[in-house]
Chains A and B, each alone.
Chain A
């Protein structure tokens, strides 16, 4: 079943030749087309099949599910269970980075550490100037310490993860104002 667009009326086509439309429709059926746009001497028609499926009934309308956004990663699970599963902070969706900043994202799943070792100073603090390739943090995965390097030169404006917290792939870690950009 084809739905005619209202374009025919709006282009001011004086007489819509239904015979012509029917020819076009059977052309579509014959060649198994789902969509066809037809433009001839001021007549513009766009025909689109309601459903490609043999089971679909002409004109039937199915309730369209709302495109709900899924909930953000579930709230922290503090498990009240015995010691075998101590409560663990789940990777939180990190706060959004301000628009004019470049986001450094985590390329791996793991635990974020801001310093090379527990008693050392952090790699960077807010306000620090960094170069391309400079180490910003460590993400530990499977007992391996992975150094995460900055992919831009600029100033660290936001640090979005707390030391020792888990991060997932793609988590925003740092907001950096690229060098040469206005504040």
Chain B
């Protein structure tokens, strides 16, 4: 087991990794920007090193600073959390070159999954169903027209270096195709440094289903069931749950087996999530893979009893999957609400000082947060303030517990999305488990209409 781990992240995930390290008896080193000087992860870590000014590019994303901190603190390993450098193959390589274990997949696999078109073809070759689409990058307008003719409309143009819902354009009519293709390439170049795009048929009213996986460094991989993350706004997840209301044990086993086989073929290790879209007829298609621990990992932890972060650390230290995670059983239902510092109606960010903070408790309630009364939510990073997770014997109990917990969660001084989550949970279609990724859009439109009536 490692003696010392540097946590290359901030906020709630830094605290999450910190607690896993503490449980394993590993010393922790926090790195922080000047804006995070009073953060809890800095306060609770064994050692803390300031690595830069507030801007991410000059601190949390600054590889030389992070590695330099790791060197002077003499750490054995770095946990990158999610976001920031967690899927930066370059960073993983620098860690290796500095003889520091990167807690995550190998650089090659990170790179493969980061190039979204390549991930798509590799997973297709490995046996996963993919959305009908282009065979890799679409290099020019002629090819774009060809693919559109084969695949049909409507379709999506996606940035190869994008992912996470960014760099995507919808094309509904033939006329839109070439302008959208050109704009998508320009935007991709601007945002991700590469104009390369690929194309996929648009799945109407899709449901977002993702499978959690864990792999050790000895070639073993397992899955830990699925999560449904259809409640999204502009491709950013707001609420997640496990299991998915439309998944049954047989389908889970079938899909899970395919996922495990595909990942074994590519040599996947550590934690990861394989994302699918399910269309109205029930067909499931691979869209992308996230080669890291994810924000919504707690719902899987609640229904399986497996500590995903501790497992990541133990397997990065060389332990075998069967020793770290026994046979996986699924019990009960878990829901997570991402409570963001945003206006619940307009989603305008609401950074600032939290003046009151009271966290709900009781049976089945878990809160992952780095916020506290008098803390300042800085404007430089994402707006996540807290993850509220409710677990119950079944979906009804989890929902009821979540509603109570939302009522009892007091955050003042900033605006939060708590009112929005309450509205979602009260929606009849949510209660019935009937939704797709446009659910929130429709709910918002209905609300706007009701107000102007």
Which residues of B have CB within 8 Å of A170?
34, 50
Minimum CB–CB distance from B145 to chain A (whole Å) comes to 48
Q: Report how far A102 CA is from B128 CA in the complex, Å.
A: 62
B407 interface hit (Cβ, 8 Å): yes
Which residues of B have CB within 8 Å of A90?
47, 49, 73
Q: Is the CB of B419 within 8 A of A109?
A: no
Q: Is the CB of A64 within 8 A of B48?
A: no
Q: Is the CB of A142 within 8 A of B72?
A: no
Residue from B64, B72, B418 in contact with A91 in the complex, judged by beta carbons closer than 8 Å: B72
Q: Is the CB of B374 within 8 A of A109?
A: no
Q: A67-B374, A70-B38, A85-B3 are in contact. Are A51 and B412 (CB under 8 A)?
A: yes
Minimum CB–CB distance from A167 to chain B (whole Å) comes to 8
Q: Is the CB of A142 within 8 A of B64?
A: yes
Which residues of A have CB within 8 Å of B372?
65
Interface string of B391-424 (1 = CB under 8 A from A): 0000000000000000101111101101100000
Which residues of B have CB within 8 Å of A54?
419
Q: Is the CB of A110 within 8 A of B407?
A: no
Q: Is the CB of B65 within 8 A of A108?
A: yes
Q: Report how far A70 CA is from B375 CA in the complex, Å.
A: 12
Q: Is the CB of B407 within 8 A of A55?
A: yes
Residue from B27, B37, B373 in contact with A77 in the complex, judged by beta carbons closer than 8 Å: B27
Q: Is the CB of A64 within 8 A of B98?
A: no
Q: Report how far A109 CA is from B68 CA in the complex, Å.
A: 6
Q: Is the CB of B50 within 8 A of A168?
A: yes
Interface positions, chain B 20-46, Cβ under 8 Å from A, are 27, 34, 37-38, 42-43, 46
Which residues of A have CB within 8 Å of B410?
53, 55-56, 62
Minimum CB–CB distance from B73 to chain A (whole Å) comes to 7
Minimum CB–CB distance from A166 to chain B (whole Å) comes to 4
Q: A88-B72, A142-B68 are in contact. Are A109 and B48 (CB under 8 A)?
A: no
A121 interface hit (Cβ, 8 Å): no
A169 interface hit (Cβ, 8 Å): yes
Q: A53-B412, A170-B34 are in contact. Are A91 and B49 (CB under 8 A)?
A: yes
Interface string of B356-389 (1 = CB under 8 A from A): 1110000000000000111000000000000000
Max chain B CB contacts within 10 Å: which of A55, A64, A86? A55
> Considering only CB atoms and an 8 Å cut-off, how many residues of chain A contact the other chain?
37
Q: Is the CB of A70 within 8 A of B64?
A: no
A81 interface hit (Cβ, 8 Å): yes
Residue from B38, B73, B409, B418 in contact with A88 in the complex, judged by beta carbons closer than 8 Å: B73
Q: Report how far A77 CA is from B357 CA in the complex, Å.
A: 33
Which residues of B have CB within 8 Å of A110?
68, 72
Minimum CB–CB distance from A138 to chain B (whole Å) comes to 13
Which residues of B have CB within 8 Å of A166?
72-73
> Considering only CB atoms and an 8 Å cut-off, how many residues of chain B contact the other chain?
45
Interface positions, chain A 35-89, Cβ under 8 Å from B, are 51-56, 62-67, 69-71, 73-74, 77, 79, 81, 84-86, 88
Max chain B CB contacts within 10 Å: which of A81, A108, A171? A108
B52 interface hit (Cβ, 8 Å): yes
A103 interface hit (Cβ, 8 Å): no
Which residues of A have CB within 8 Å of B407?
55
Minimum CB–CB distance from B285 to chain A (whole Å) comes to 40
Residue in A closest to B33 when the chains form the complex, CB atoms: A169
A111 interface hit (Cβ, 8 Å): yes
Q: Report how far A73 CA is from B32 CA in the complex, Å.
A: 12
Which residues of A have CB within 8 Å of B98?
142
Max chain A CB contacts within 10 Å: which of B53, B65, B358, B416? B65
Interface positions, chain A 118-143, Cβ under 8 Å from B, are 141-142
Q: Report how far A83 CA is from B74 CA in the complex, Å.
A: 12
Residue from A53, A66, A71, A85 in contact with B74 in the complex, judged by beta carbons closer than 8 Å: A85
Q: Report how far A127 CA is from B127 CA in the complex, Å.
A: 72
Residue in B closest to A54 when the chains form the complex, CB atoms: B419
Which residues of A have CB within 8 Å of B38?
69-70
Minimum CB–CB distance from B127 to chain A (whole Å) comes to 41
Q: Is the CB of B74 within 8 A of A86?
A: yes
Minimum CB–CB distance from A163 to chain B (whole Å) comes to 14
Q: Report how far A52 CA is from B341 CA in the complex, Å.
A: 13
B8 interface hit (Cβ, 8 Å): no
Q: Is the CB of A64 within 8 A of B374?
A: yes
Question: Residues on B close to A: CB < 8 A?
Answer: 3-4, 27, 34, 37-38, 42-43, 46-53, 59, 64-65, 67-69, 71-74, 76, 98, 355-358, 372-374, 407, 409-413, 415-416, 418-419
Q: Can you list 23 A-B pairs with a CB-CB distance of less than 8 A?
A: A52-B412, A53-B410, A53-B412, A55-B410, A62-B412, A64-B356, A64-B374, A65-B374, A70-B43, A73-B47, A74-B47, A81-B3, A85-B3, A85-B76, A90-B47, A109-B51, A109-B65, A141-B65, A141-B67, A142-B64, A166-B72, A168-B49, A168-B50
Q: A74-B46, A141-B71, A166-B72 known; 19 other A-B pairs, CB under 8 Å? A: A51-B355, A55-B407, A62-B356, A65-B373, A70-B37, A73-B47, A73-B48, A74-B48, A77-B47, A84-B3, A84-B76, A91-B49, A108-B65, A109-B65, A109-B68, A110-B72, A141-B64, A141-B67, A166-B73
Question: Residues on A close to B: CB < 8 A?
Answer: 51-56, 62-67, 69-71, 73-74, 77, 79, 81, 84-86, 88, 90-91, 108-111, 141-142, 166, 168-171
3 closest A-B pairs by beta carbon, nearest first, are A166-B72, A65-B373, A141-B68
